[in-house]
Amino acid sequence: MGVEITVDGLTKSFGKQLIWADVSLTVPAGEICVMLGPSGTGKSVFLKALIGLLKPDSGSIIIEGTDIASCSEKDLYEIRKLFGVLFQDGAMFGSMNLYDNVAFPLREHTKKSESEIRDIVMEKMDLVGLLGAEDKLPGEISGGMRKRAGLARALVLDPEIVLFDEPDSGLDPVRTAFLNQLIVDLNAQIDATFLIVTHDINTARTVPDNIGLLYHKHLAMFGPREMLLSSEEPVVRQFLNAQRVGPIGMSEEKDADELLAEKDMDLPPLPPIALQLEPSNGIPRRSQRPPGEWCRENGITPPPGSFTSDAALA
């Protein structure tokens, strides 16, 4: 069922520039989480800290009992074997065909025979819908196909944690929708925890089990999807509903007068909570959380029409 990630008191600066401070959250094993935030709030920095590419100034990141923020290089190397990463641009080697790109981690990090490698590569390419495209070069295919090839490569070592760094960047809405469905389907099929950094609001509203929002150098909120989509917290409400009115402005910080003027302003009504994407292959989602369960448990009435029937909240 994947691996849990426990982050406690994480702080990161570059010189005198604070990126974020005292970030604490738990990414549940086997579930899909999305991390949101305005541009420049350090979402990609957060991913790099999780995989040990950047050391935080303070705090801990516990994965299977190891604090990767302070462990030895040897222990970090072992923990990294749990990860698969889909980078923004797919990070394909331009001179290699898709087959060799996907096979690369197996050839570098295992002693498997070419016959074993071929079986694994073809299995992963089938998972992402790329069978028949093995001989194509990255420059010969669309951005969406490059993303899927990058995802196949991220999966070849059977990771227990998969990180997605803005998987929808550069994709049109239709291909983003296909990729979102693929992510949900994969999460239902493999034993892995998924964490997605994205700006795409539709992805955030329909794909994850849990949502986090980085804003103004801190974690504004993290929790079940329903909690954030029904939140009255101004920054959360503004961002998840793509509204102009609220504390987020064109610059990272609005001036004090503007914030004060908006403090008592009526915000637009919350839209209904979007239906969560279900796996297309009939396999239940890992979280197994029925629609509206979190709202019911916490005594929150969601916006009208949020779920398919009142029975979901009964």
| 7-16, 32-41, 157-166, range with the lowest pLDDT | 32-41
Residue indicated by tokens 């194509």: 136
User: Do the bridges between strand 193-197 and strand 58-63 make them parallel or antiparallel, or are there none, so unpaired?
Assistant: unpaired
**Topology classification of domain 5-82+159-271:** Rossmann fold (3.40.50)
Of the pLDDT bands very low, low, confident and very high (cuts 50, 70, 90), residue 219 is very high
Name the average pLDDT for the chain: 84
Phi-psi region of 196 (alpha: psi -120 to 50; beta: other; left: phi over 0): beta
Residue 287 pLDDT more than 70?
Answer: no
As a whole number, mean pLDDT of residues 163-185 equals: 88
Residue 295 pLDDT more than 80?
Answer: no
3-state secondary structure of 271: coil
| 18-32, 256-270, 289-303, range with the lowest pLDDT | 289-303
Q: What is the pTM of this model?
A: 0.85
Q: What amino acid is encoded at 103 in this protein?
A: A
Distance CA 158, CA 84 (A): 8
The CA dihedral of 249, 255, 261, 262, to the nearest 10 degrees, is 30
Residue 313 pLDDT more than 50?
Answer: no
CA distances from 205 to 36, 169, 200 (A): 11, 17, 9
All residues at 6 or more sequence positions from 150 whose CB lies less than 8 Å from its CB, including other chains: 86, 87, 90, 91, 92
Residue 299 has a pLDDT of 58
Question: Given CA atoms 129, 118, 97, 149 in this order, what sign does their dihedral have?
Answer: positive
